[in-house]
Amino acid sequence: MKDFPYTEKKDTRSGFGAGLHELGKTNPNVVGLCADLTPSLKMDAFAKDFPERFFQVGIAEANMIGLAAGMTIGGKIPFTGTFANFTTSRVFDQIRQSVSYSGKNVKIAASHSGLTLGEDGATHQVLEDIGMMKMLPHMTVINPCDFNQTKAATIAAAEHDGPVYLRFGRPSVPNFTPADQKFEIGKALMLNEGKDVTIFATGHMVWEAIEAGHILAEKGIDAEIVNIHTIKPLDVEAVIASAKKTGAVVTAEEHQINGGLGESISGVLSRELPTPVEFVAVMDTFGESGTPAQLMEKYGLKAENIVEKALKAIGRK
């Protein structure tokens, strides 16, 4: 099992802020919109340095999505920013009609996704957003794992022609991917090659998967770990190739079991290569208030849970 050294923990939302600020310097067509959460989204540097391209829309998310769709007409590349909950379930119809169905080049930046938003509780902890967004035709769904990858994904989203849902979060997590990485939308990243079981993980759960890999190695189990940063389009080829090699699969995500990464992967495998799949996800329930660590433990989203499901999947071979 490979080691993944890192020097610091950072929040993925700051990776977005850094990527957006970089885009402000390099791409004059990039504009930012925010619904009264500029510091939370780490959009303040962009707002300060590119004020003519930053639009404060107030607490009016539906209008923000519509504005962004309209701004694309004439060549702008809008990034909208608010919490994941307020930019998916609250405005699903606006995204569906004005962005996705209209094929507009809007980048929907979603922070504070999942349980790790923490103390604010279930009103704010959206666990259904990946499902909603991946169901929309034309939509690309990205959920990077650390600061560096989120920054790279933000830049890649601007280069991609079409609507993108970019999901990230609040907690500080190990920043272990390369600072100079080129982010390829739709390309699964092999983190550790193994032969006994594959762990497909996305977002914050990638680090948990790495920790699970170490625990499994101590038990003599050789886990393959794949970072699925793009849930749609899914890297079907990589999923099938890995499942073929290991014959057992675990998916890990900070999302409902319904509608998430696990569902996408099991869908592919049931069609192409029936394989035992176990799911680490939130099991069709709402979250609650607590610290991120407490919540991840209570709802079964820790490395230990991945290990348990890996053993179960192997047992089903």
Partner 1 sequence: MSFNITDEEVKKLEDVASQVRRDILRMVHGCGSGHPGGALGCTDLLVALYFKEMTHNPEFSMDGKDEDLFFLSNGHISAVLYSTLARAGYFPVPELATHRKINSRLQGHPATEEGLPGIRMASGSLGQGLSVAAGAAQTKKLNGDDKFVYVLMGDGEQQEGQIWEAAMYAPHNKVDNLIGFVDYNNAQIDGSTDEVLNLLDLGAKYKAFGWHVITCEKGNDMKTVLETIQEAKAASKQGTPVMVLLKTEMGHPIDFMVGTHKWHGQAPNDEQLASALGQVKETLGDY
- Quote the least distance from Cβ 166 to partner 1, whole Å: 19
Q: Which is nearer to partner 1, 161 or 180 (CB)?
A: 161
Does 38 participate in binding partner 1 (rule CB under 8 A)? no
Residue partners of 178: CB distance under 8 A and separation at least 6: 148
- Quote the least distance from Cβ 134 to partner 1, whole Å: 19
Pairwise CA distance, residues 80 & 32, whole Å: 6
From the candidates 61, 208, 253, 254, give the one annotated as an active-site residue: 61
Does 218 participate in binding partner 1 (rule CB under 8 A)? no
* Contact (Cβ atoms closer than 8 angstroms) between residue 258 and residue 129: no
Q: Which of 48, 49, 101, 267 binds partner 1 (CB under 8 A)?
A: 101
Q: Which is nearer to partner 1, 99 or 117 (CB)?
A: 99
- By the 10 Å C-beta count (0-12 exposed, 13-18 middle, 19+ buried), 227 is classed as buried
Does 93 participate in binding partner 1 (rule CB under 8 A)? yes
Q: Which is nearer to partner 1, 71 or 231 (CB)?
A: 71
Q: Which is nearer to partner 1, 139 or 248 (CB)?
A: 139
Q: Which of 15, 78, 169, 287 binds partner 1 (CB under 8 A)?
A: 78
Pairwise CA distance, residues 228 & 149, whole Å: 12
Which DSSP helix (H) or strand (E) runs through 24? Answer: helix 12-26
- Quote the least distance from Cβ 50 to partner 1, whole Å: 11
* Contact (Cβ atoms closer than 8 angstroms) between residue 199 and residue 223: yes
Does 58 participate in binding partner 1 (rule CB under 8 A)? yes
Does 34 participate in binding partner 1 (rule CB under 8 A)? no
| Count of residues engaged in binding partner 1, rule: CB under 8 A | 32
Does 66 participate in binding partner 1 (rule CB under 8 A)? yes
Does 31 participate in binding partner 1 (rule CB under 8 A)? yes
- By the 10 Å C-beta count (0-12 exposed, 13-18 middle, 19+ buried), 56 is classed as middle
Pairwise CA distance, residues 312 & 317, whole Å: 9
Pairing of strands 140-142, 230-232: antiparallel
Q: Which of 43, 57, 188, 313 binds partner 1 (CB under 8 A)?
A: 57
Q: Which of 20, 30, 67, 145 binds partner 1 (CB under 8 A)?
A: 67
* Contact (Cβ atoms closer than 8 angstroms) between residue 23 and residue 109: no
Q: Which is nearer to partner 1, 71 or 205 (CB)?
A: 71
Q: Which of 1, 65, 132, 257 binds partner 1 (CB under 8 A)?
A: 65
Q: Is 208 a catalytic residue?
A: no
Does 70 participate in binding partner 1 (rule CB under 8 A)? yes
Does 179 participate in binding partner 1 (rule CB under 8 A)? no
* Contact (Cβ atoms closer than 8 angstroms) between residue 158 and residue 108: no
Q: Could you give the C-alpha distances from 89 to 92, 93, 94, 284, 301, in angstroms and in order?
A: 5, 9, 10, 16, 23
* Contact (Cβ atoms closer than 8 angstroms) between residue 232 and residue 268: no
Please identify every residue annotated as catalytic. Answer: 61
Residues that bind partner 1 (CB under 8 A): 31, 52-53, 55, 57-58, 60, 62-76, 78, 93-94, 96-98, 101-104
